[in-house]
Amino acid sequence: MKTIVVFNQKGGVGKTSTVTNMMSELTRRGKKVLALDLDAQANLTSFCKIIDAKYTVKDVLSKTVDLDEAICSTVYGDIVPSDETLGLELLRFASDPSFILRVRTILERLPQGRYDFVLIDCPPAVNQVTASALVAANYVLIPTEMEYFSAVGVGRIAETIEQIKPFNNGIKVIGVLLVKYNARRTLTKALESKLSQSTREMLGCDIMNAKIRFTVDIPSAQACGMSVYDYSSKSKAAFDYEELIAELLDKININTKGDKYHGRL
Ligand SMILES: Nc1ncnc2c1ncn2[C@@H]1O[C@H](COP(=O)(O)OP(=O)(O)O)[C@@H](O)[C@H]1O
Ligand SMILES: [Mg+2]
């Protein structure tokens, strides 16, 4: 089981969109996926059309219920939903020194082989919940927009990861993922090379080769509760997310030859 945390302290950069489309792509490849929605805004939960869940991630994190009781099944894999009550618990979590290990401890109890991937969608903040997710991470994927200040954001992320290392020294940043990419924008090439340089200097990794191009298919698919592939398999973002998964599995060194693949390769 590999745990991939999708993290950027900035909001609106494509974290949740990336998690939803990764869930769909991995499931299409026959992988068993569990997603944790750690954002009190619960966008991933809404995308998965989960309304009024009996238990949420807050109950699991506060040890009120076991992980199993909070898992909901969807067409794109299993998910532990969230809701706004998670926000109210943050102070309590922050006053508990053992909380930083909570997500890891919870995931360690999963039976071996039950899931191939755990994907964690983070809130747009560095709080106790994000820190606990990062401590549980094998890999971190950092979606970012192509803006002038994105390079500064990469520096902040690097500082956060450094603070996590004493608790999780195996944490590996898999790469920075450019989302809402527009190759025709004049500034794009200059920004991309600046971002690529800061990523290498500060995070010690590269920008992912796969880039998620800007397209209205992403919000349109979300409005229908579908992955972009299911919404329109010819969408450029559907190709981009396919490429992302191929690159990711390659980087994680997972042999994909035996994959059950539903749909085009
Ligand atoms: N490739 C894309 N092209 C166009 N819009 C996108 C793309 N990716 C994400 N979006 C839109 O950007 C907004 C923020 O994305 P979201 O995934 O919710 O970000 P975050 O989880 O980081 O806050 C959403 O409205 C989403 O539909
Ligand atoms: Mg989000």
pTM of the model: 0.95
Residue 265's pLDDT is 38
pLDDT in tens, 58-108: 999 999 999 999 999 999 999 999 999 999 999 999 999 999 999 999 999
Range with lowest mean pLDDT among 10-24, 54-68, 183-197:
183-197
Question: What is the band of 186 on the pLDDT scale with cuts at 50, 70, 90?
Answer: confident
User: Cα of 258 to ligand 2 centre, how many Å?
Assistant: 32
- Can you name the CATH fold of 2-249? Rossmann fold (3.40.50)
Contact 50, 35 (CB under 8 A): no
Give the Å distances, CA to CA, from 135 to 33, 45, 55, 127, 223.
19, 23, 23, 12, 33
User: Cα of 242 to ligand 2 centre, how many Å?
Assistant: 20
Question: What is the band of 253 on the pLDDT scale with cuts at 50, 70, 90?
Answer: confident
By alpha-carbon position, which residue is closest to atom 8 of ligand 1?
14
Provide the 10 A C-beta neighbour count for residue 162. Answer: 11
User: Cα of 14 to ligand 1 centre, how many Å?
Assistant: 4
Phi and psi, residue 191, nearest 5°: -65, -40
Q: 235 CB under 6 A from ligand 1?
A: no
**Nearest atom of ligand 1 to the alpha carbon of 215:** 3
The share of the chain scoring above pLDDT 70, in percent, equals 96
pLDDT for 257 beyond 70 = no
Of the residues 15, 41, 208, 218, which should be mutated to test ligand 1's pocket, given the most ligand atoms within 8 Å of the CB? 218
From CA 50, how far away is CA 82, in angstroms rounded? 9
How confident is the model over 170-178, as a mean pLDDT?
A: 96
pLDDT in tens, 102-159: 999 999 999 999 999 999 999 999 999 999 999 999 999 999 998 878 888 999 999 9
Contact 86, 58 (CB under 8 A): yes
Of residues 183 and 24, more confidence is placed in 24
User: Cα of 107 to ligand 1 centre, how many Å?
Assistant: 27
Question: What 3-state DSSP class applies to 204?
Answer: coil
Q: 41 CB under 6 A from ligand 1?
A: no
On the CB side of 158, CA atoms within 13 Å amount to 16
User: Cα of 93 to ligand 1 centre, how many Å?
Assistant: 29
Q: Where do the structural domains in the chain lie, given as residue ranges?
A: 2-249
Of the residues 17, 41, 145, 182, which should be mutated to test ligand 1's pocket, given the most ligand atoms within 8 Å of the CB? 17
DSSP 203: I
